[in-house]
Amino acid sequence: MVKILDFGLAKLSRPEEFGSPEAMTQGSGTVPGIVMGTIGYMSPEQVRGLQVDHRSDIFALGAILFEMLSARRAFQGNTPVDTLTAILMHDPPSLTGTNPNVTPPLDRTIRRCLEKDPKERFQSAKEVGFALKALSDALGSVRADSDQATGVALSRRMATKRALSLAALAFVAVLGLLVAANVGGVRSLLWSRGQIQSLADLPLANLSGDPAQDYFADGMTEAMITELAQISALRVISRTSVMQYKGGKKSLPEIARELRVDSVIEGSVLRSGEKVRITAQLIQAVPERHLWAKSYDGDLRDVMAIQSQVARSVAGEIRVKLTAQEESRLQKARPVNADAHDAYLRGRYYRRKGGLENLGKARQYFEQALDSDPLYAPAYAALADYYSVLPFYTNARPDEVFPKAKAAVARALELDDSLAEAHASLAYIHTYYEWDWAAGEQEFQRSLQINPNDAAVRHRYSRYLSTVGRIDDAVREIRRAQELDPLSQIAKANVGVIYYFARQYDSAIKPLNEVLRDDPKFDTGYWGLGLIYEQKGMPAEAVAQLEKAAALSADPNTMASLAHAYAIAGQKGRFPQAW
């Protein structure tokens, strides 16, 4: 049973219907310049005696939800003056630190209601409804055989769901009042949206409560990005950049500005036994609007179909035009072997972490995936990538590992010719092992035709273009990679490497110095500067830069460059320490 104990302040949305404006200046409710309201739930603009609107109610709703979930006020002090000061000057504490059942997305939703600036809050009750519905759906019942074996996790999810249910009830009560009075034009507001041409799919929140399941949430995030990235009419930010916001507290408008996108997708994933639920909400950045929210349930074997369904829903919501080929690819998602897919996701998790030890773990999981399902094409493509990069991480001989890479990629493409990552690996083999330039470019272009938003492939393609002397094309390609991966240091460093290949050494130095200013431990920056100083006839400076690179990463490529610099500097009896 819900009881409304206090209607709070009332404000007439159309006072002229009750007489002249002059007649309404006495006792009309909320009046600018007069502080009115219940201390602890008043918005900053109320505290200051400024003009208020429906966004003050959204602030009050946030204060109520905060108190319901934490058993304490969002803003409190020893005296009423102290409380009012807290409302104006202080941020509320994090709910995740006071209530273990509160997820970061729920905390972020409530904190957004409590923003000091009304423009930074949800702009309507409908937006709050979108956000709460998405969170409530994400914690819906997921029936699975394993639930009885995970009673503790299930009870924790149920406690969180009860908290969300209470929040939703409070929201419904406030929403009813707002709609009935048409406060702020809630009832009559016409929602407009700008054309969406770019988006960032933020890391899916892991709602299992088990950090060991992070690999699954990260893998599902990467897979959703890959699905969306195949829509050529959209610019989709790469995984490398969006994962930097995992667990962060930045607001969605701030993230959108940094990534230079029109919209973001925020969501969660919950795995329970052989069942999985993905919840996603699409949010326009400027002006900020919650456009769409939906949950998708299914078996693990149908996870690829769920991801494709999300991509189709997003495309339909923003009215983007799919080509016939894109529509076909998104429609033909096949069932997967759950064990093979799980091992593959674990392998991708370790491959992304980098380092020789993690690279070895990745290979083991990819092979485990193929043990579970010998026809699982993505695992063959991943093995091809593993063997292709080994010469750059280890002393493995190219003529030992590249044939293994080629055999793996051939099998991947035999099973599924639509795998963009497999065509990218084949392009890499043609370029760095076989020196078959024409075949290499053909495969690069085929990969980008399937997935035009793959920043890593565009990065590699730019290196190919610079190698064959097409510098202008290479610069255009790396700039495109930077648009897709705006926070990538390796893409920025590669601008300098391309100018190095063009013998434009002064132009090459600037981006490399910018990279090192942002990240002094980025070894590629020192390596590139070492190569440049060597060509500029500055051997001592070249040795100094390459020694810094070797101290950070003693990979064969860096060691060979340092040995060459020693020889150029006349230090022919000196060898890199790692040798």
- How far does CA 215 lie from the centroid of its chain? 14
- How far does CA 440 lie from the centroid of its chain? 30
What's residue 46's pLDDT? 85
Question: What one-character-per-residue DSSP string does 4-64 give?
Answer: -------B-S-GGGGS-TGGGSSS-B--TTS--S-TTT--HHHHTT----HHHHHHHHHHH
280 phi/psi in degrees, rounded to 5: -135, 145
CA pair distance 83, 220, nearest whole angstrom = 43
CA-based end-to-end distance of the chain: 75
What's residue 178's pLDDT? 47
What's residue 419's pLDDT? 94
Give 368's contacts (C-beta < 8 A, 6+ positions apart): 343, 347
Which domains are assigned to the chain? Answer: 15-185 (1.10.510), 198-331 (3.40.50.10070)
Closest CA to 478 of 501, 450, 505: 501
Q: Which residue has the tokens 């610069």?
A: 475
What's residue 516's pLDDT? 95
Closest CA to 115 of 291, 253, 248, 264: 253
What's residue 36's pLDDT? 53
What's residue 158's pLDDT? 53
Give 514's contacts (C-beta < 8 A, 6+ positions apart): 492
> What is the crossing angle of helices 54-70 and 125-138, to 10°?
30
Tens of pLDDT, residue by residue, the chain (579 residues): 555 555 445 454 444 433 443 333 333 344 444 445 667 788 998 887 788 888 989 999 999 889 888 888 899 887 767 788 889 888 888 888 778 778 878 888 898 899 999 988 988 888 888 888 777 766 654 434 444 444 544 455 555 555 555 555 555 555 554 444 444 444 333 334 457 889 999 998 888 878 888 999 999 999 889 888 988 889 999 999 999 998 777 888 889 999 999 999 988 888 888 888 888 888 888 777 788 888 888 888 888 888 888 888 888 887 788 888 888 877 777 788 999 999 999 999 999 888 888 999 999 999 999 999 999 999 999 999 999 989 887 888 999 999 999 999 999 999 999 999 999 999 999 999 999 999 999 999 999 999 999 999 999 999 999 999 999 999 999 999 999 999 999 999 999 999 999 999 999 999 999 999 999 999 999 999 999 999 999 999 999 999 999 999 888 888 989 999 999 988 877 766 654
- How far does CA 94 lie from the centroid of its chain? 22
Q: How many other CB atoms are found less than 10 A from the CB of residue 88?
A: 14
Put simply, whether the predicted model's pTM sits higher than 0.75 gets the answer no
What's residue 164's pLDDT? 54
What's residue 166's pLDDT? 54
Closest CA to 380 of 354, 347, 355: 347
Q: Do 242 and 201 touch, CB atoms closer than 8 A?
A: yes
What's residue 2's pLDDT? 52
Task: Characterize 216-247 residue by residue with b for buried, 16 or more Cβ atoms within 10 angstroms of its Cβ, and e for exposed.
Answer: bbbbbbbbbbbbbbbbbebbbbbbbbbbebbe
